[in-house]
Amino acid sequence: MRYAIQAEGLAKRYGETRALDGVDLAVPQGRLLGVLGPNGAGKTTAVRILATLLRPDEGRAAVGGFDVTKDAHRVRSLIGLTGQYAAVDEMLTGVENLMMIGRLLGMSRADSRRRAEELLARFDLSEAGGRATKTYSGGMRRRLDLAASLVGRPQVLFLDEPTTGLDPRSRTELWSVVRGLMADGVTVLLTTQYLEEADQLADDIVVFDHGKVIASGTSDELKATTGAQILEVRPLEAAHLDLVAQVVTDVIGETPDLDGGRVTVSVHDPAAVPAVVRRLDDLGVVATELALRKSSLDEVFLALTGHRAEEPAGEKEEVFA
Ligand X SMILES: Nc1ncnc2c1ncn2[C@@H]1O[C@H](COP(=O)(O)OP(=O)(O)OP(=O)(O)O)[C@@H](O)[C@H]1O
Q: Which residues bind ligand X (CB under 6 A)?
A: 14, 17, 19, 37, 39-45, 84, 193
Closer to Mg ion by CB, 85 or 221: give it.
85
Residues 257 and 263 sit within 8 Å (Cβ to Cβ): yes
Closer to Mg ion by CB, 44 or 133: give it.
44
Output the smallest distance, CB 303 to ligand X, in A: 20
The type of residue at 4 is: A
Closer to ligand X by CB, 29 or 84: give it.
84
Output the smallest distance, CB 258 to ligand X, in A: 32
Output the smallest distance, CB 39 to ligand X, in A: 4
How are strands ordered across the β-sheet holding 32-36?
Answer: 79-82, 156-160, 187-192, 32-36, 204-209, 212-217
Closer to ligand X by CB, 42 or 64: give it.
42
Closer to ligand X by CB, 112 or 216: give it.
216
In this structure, are strands 187-192 and 156-160 parallel, antiparallel, or unpaired? parallel
Q: 37 is in the binding site of which of ligand X, Mg ion, none (Cβ under 5 to 8 A by kind)?
A: ligand X
The torsion angles phi and psi of 177, rounded to 5 degrees, stand at -65, -45
Q: 40 is in the binding site of which of ligand X, Mg ion, none (Cβ under 5 to 8 A by kind)?
A: ligand X
Output the smallest distance, CB 304 to ligand X, in A: 15
Closer to ligand X by CB, 45 or 295: give it.
45
Q: 245 is in the binding site of which of Mg ion, ligand X, none (Cβ under 5 to 8 A by kind)?
A: none
List of residues contacting Mg ion (CB under 5 A): 43-44, 84
Output the smallest distance, CB 43 to ligand X, in A: 3
Q: 39 is in the binding site of which of ligand X, Mg ion, none (Cβ under 5 to 8 A by kind)?
A: ligand X
Output the smallest distance, CB 10 to ligand X, in A: 11
Q: Is 212 exposed, middle or buried (0-12, 13-18, 19+ CB in 10 A)?
A: middle
Closer to Mg ion by CB, 12 or 43: give it.
43
| Helix and strand element counts for the chain (H, E) | 11, 14
Output the smallest distance, CB 18 to ligand X, in A: 8
Secondary structure percentages of the chain, helix, strand, coil, to 5 = 40, 30, 30
Q: 17 is in the binding site of which of ligand X, Mg ion, none (Cβ under 5 to 8 A by kind)?
A: ligand X
Quickly list H helices, the chain. Answer: 43-50, 72-78, 94-104, 109-122, 138-150, 168-183, 195-201, 219-225, 241-252, 273-282, 297-305
Residues 243 and 284 sit within 8 Å (Cβ to Cβ): no
Q: 34 is in the binding site of which of ligand X, Mg ion, none (Cβ under 5 to 8 A by kind)?
A: none
User: What SS3 state is found at 213?
Assistant: strand
Q: 133 is in the binding site of which of ligand X, Mg ion, none (Cβ under 5 to 8 A by kind)?
A: none
Q: 126 is in the binding site of which of ligand X, Mg ion, none (Cβ under 5 to 8 A by kind)?
A: none
Output the smallest distance, CB 279 to ligand X, in A: 45
Q: Residue with the closest Cβ to Mg ion?
A: 44
d(CA 287, CA 234): 5
CA angle 128, 178, 213 (to 5 degrees): 130
Closer to Mg ion by CB, 51 or 263: give it.
51
Residues 318 and 216 sit within 8 Å (Cβ to Cβ): no
